[in-house]
Chains A and B, each alone.
Chain A
Amino acid sequence: MRRGTGDHEEFLRATLRHADLLHALAARLAVRPADVSDLVQETYLRAFAAWHSRRPDDVGAWLATICLNVGRDERRRHSRRDTALHDGPLPDIPDRADTAEAALERLGNSWVETALWTLPETQRIAITLMDVCGFTAAQVAAITGAPRGTVLARVHRGRKALALTIRGEPSRAATRGAGDEARR
């Protein structure tokens, strides 16, 4: 069975205008900068595969949700591959220092980009979706599956941590426990 030509043209008309948004999100999800385009392309292919059975009302939020899922899958795949290649004892779960180290490897990116990579993932994604992609708190809540209050807390703490990191001050906001968020 082949999909109709009109089907894919309609899909592209509805989705291509969100390419900038998805690229911005993918750039903050991809394990390696070289993977960003692949992540965006995979997002579009998965979305297209689902397009014939679903026409979402909010196409941008729908694509962002798929992009987040693709990013998680990619990270799991990388994690499995890294584990398989590791001969010695299994490595610990990466801590914030590892994330910061990975961020330093992204030489050539701006200070802000580097600072974003030092944030906990939930904050980085929340800030990216709201401040970079332009989604509302309600949309981010729908995309991430987190309560709206939690989204607002993540965004606020992430913004504060970003400002403090750029100023060269240590931030407690970024590392506050998930329990604080769950209360909201």
Chain B
Amino acid sequence: MKHDAEQLAAAYLTTMRRRGRRRYEAHLLACEPCWREVCLARRGRQLAEASREAAPPGLRDEIRAAVTAAATVPADRPHARAPIALAVAMTLAMVAGATMAALPWHHGPPVPATAPTVLAAAVASYRDNQLPGTAVPGELAPDLTRLSLHPVAAATGQLDGMPVTTFTYVNAAGARLAIYRSTRPFPEAAEAHALGGEDSAWTMRSSGITVICARGTHTMLLLGSDAALVKQAGAVLHAT
């Protein structure tokens, strides 16, 4: 029988009706080219279907923020990027705050008990990518654009009863950094190492996260998984 194996296999795997399928399946048993066509196409479909993956968790929030921002921009300027970007950043901060309020505090493995609880709370907050409150801060995020770090969320709230303002940043590679500022000094962890000098900054590492507490009044913490980036941010902010 003369036939186009490719065309028949394509139809069989997509649009062929029941009666045609039965006849074709009987034909498959005796026709090696058709059998091979169907096997390969089935395997390819399985591979393609297996590559399905959900969108990153933050994507919907980003879309919501962008569309909400666009809705507040005059309609004759649909691509006024700068005001949209600003509004997106503000909306994301509020969304992140709301997420924080809706979710339980701890998700991952416990933070070592030796760290004072406020530091453990800061590490857990960073690790779970959650803000310690929902209020919009009255101060601007420190400028870390020299390190290609851009603010993505900010909030004022409490860490283990301690009032803090948090700013989180990311760079193009996805590395994340968080700053916690308080009106009170952060307690020093037993395992902390001084970075030198009187009233010096100190550093510790917990659950793979590097923490630096700023020198002087010790009212600022910097946290991140990338130790070098945390140190660089400390230097830019004159914290070390």
Contacts and interface: CB of A to CB of B under 8 A. Distances in A.
Interface of A: 1-5, 7-8, 11-12, 16, 19-20, 22-24, 34, 37, 40-41, 44-45, 48-49, 52, 110, 112-113, 115-116, 127-128, 131-132, 137, 152-153, 155-164, 166, 173, 184
Contacts, number: 130
A156 B6 contact: yes
B188 interface: no
B60 A16 contact: yes
B59 A155 contact: no
Given A16-B60, A112-B51, A163 B67 contact: no
A155 B52 contact: no
Contacts of B10: 152-153, 155-156
Given A19-B60, A159-B45, A152 B70 contact: no
Contacts of A40: 55, 59, 63
Given A8-B68, A156-B9, A163 B47 contact: yes
B29 interface: no
A45 B52 CA distance: 24
A153 B7 CA distance: 7
A24 B59 CA distance: 12
A8 B70 contact: yes
17 contacts: A2-B72, A2-B74, A2-B75, A4-B71, A23-B56, A24-B52, A37-B62, A40-B63, A45-B79, A48-B67, A52-B75, A131-B45, A156-B9, A158-B48, A159-B41, A159-B45, A162-B47
B198 interface: no
Nearest to A157: B6
Given A11-B67, A49-B78, A112-B51, A159 B60 contact: no
B43 interface: yes
Interface stretch (B11-19, B96-104, B125-133, B135-143): B11-19
A79 to B, nearest CB: 21
B45 to A, nearest CB: 5
B71 to A, nearest CB: 4
Interface string B199-231: 000000000000000000000000000000000
Nearest to A21: B55
- Interface of B, secondary structure class, is helix
Interface of B: 6-7, 9-11, 13-15, 37, 40-45, 47-56, 59-60, 62-64, 66-68, 70-76, 78-79, 84, 172
B47 A12 contact: no
A13 to B, nearest CB: 11
B55 A23 contact: yes
A8 B67 CA distance: 7
A179 to B, nearest CB: 14
Per CB-CB distance, the 5 closest pairs between chain A and chain B, nearest first, are A159-B44, A156-B10, A131-B48, A23-B55, A8-B71
Contacts of A132: 48-49, 51-52
Nearest to A158: B44
A49 B70 CA distance: 9
**Residue among B55, B64, B72 facing the most chain A CB atoms (10 A cut-off):** B55
Contacts of A7: 71
A45 B75 CA distance: 11
A163 B59 contact: no
A22 B59 CA distance: 11
A160 B15 contact: no
Contact of B71 (A3, A115, A152, A158): A3
Contacts of A113: 51
Contacts of B6: 153, 156-157, 173
A12 B64 contact: yes
Given A34-B172, A152-B11, A166 B63 contact: no
A145 B37 CA distance: 26
A184 B4 CA distance: 12
Contacts of A137: 14-15
